[in-house]
């Protein structure tokens, strides 16, 4: 019996002198790896126009069918994007999303990215259905020249 107690004490003393691995969350946050995929974000051009041209490739390639895109024609007096079309309705259900990143890879104009933000909390399930206004990032918060697409593995 004494032998087992001494074994336990030896293990305790070994661990006592090691550096703790616990982070004091939320003051200290874990750095996400380069290939981490978090919350979706729609990008803008430097002039303020939306990048999304309403092609619907992100919706077509999504394996969980969580993206809804309704395109509309651009009018000359009220342009939303540089192309002929724009996404009138862009909606993502974050509960259904599996964060695979296919939408980011399929987008021909790099309109949608997956950010490093991984903290999702809300009081109702409806708040996890992100509409276009919530997905569009303001120019002041947009990462300049940020390319979050992973480098090819060779």
Q: What is the mean pLDDT of residues 103-118?
A: 92
Contact 71, 109 (CB under 8 A): no
Domains and CATH numbers, the chain: 35-135 (3.30.70.3270)
Rounded Cα gap, residues 49 and 23, in angstroms: 40
- Confidence at 152, pLDDT banded by 50, 70, 90: low
Q: What is d(CA 116, CA 91) in angstroms, rounded to the nearest whole number?
A: 20
Q: CA end-to-end span of the chain, whole Å?
A: 56
Instruction: Please write the tens of the pLDDT for every residue from 79-89.
Output: 888 888 999 99
Give the mean pLDDT of 121-129.
90
Bridging pattern class, strands 85-93 and 129-130:
antiparallel
How much is the pTM? 0.74
Average pLDDT, the chain: 86
36, 116 contact by CB (below 8 A): yes
Over residues 109-118, mean pLDDT: 90
pLDDT at position 118 over 90: no
3-state secondary structure of 130: strand
Q: List pLDDT tens digits, range 28-82.
A: 888 888 888 889 999 998 888 899 999 999 999 999 999 999 999 988 888 888 8
């Amino acid at each position: 019996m004494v032998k087992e107690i001494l074994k336990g004490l030896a293990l305790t003393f070994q661990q006592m002198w090691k550096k703790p691995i616990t982070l004091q969350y939320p003051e200290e946050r874990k750095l996400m790896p380069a290939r981490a995929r978090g919350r979706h974000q729609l990008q803008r051009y430097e002039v303020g126009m939306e990048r999304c041209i309403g092609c619907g490739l992100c919706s077509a390639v999504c394996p969980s069918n969580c993206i809804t895109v309704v395109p509309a024609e651009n009018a000359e007096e009220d342009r939303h994007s540089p192309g002929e079309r724009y996404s009138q309705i862009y909606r993502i259900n974050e509960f259904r999303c599996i964060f695979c990143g296919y939408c980011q890879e399929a987008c021909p104009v790099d309109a949608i990215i997956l950010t490093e933000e991984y903290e999702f909390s809300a009081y109702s399930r409806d708040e996890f259905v992100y509409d276009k206004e919530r997905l569009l990032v303001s120019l002041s918060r947009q990462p300049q020249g940020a390319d979050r697409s992973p480098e090819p593995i060779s």
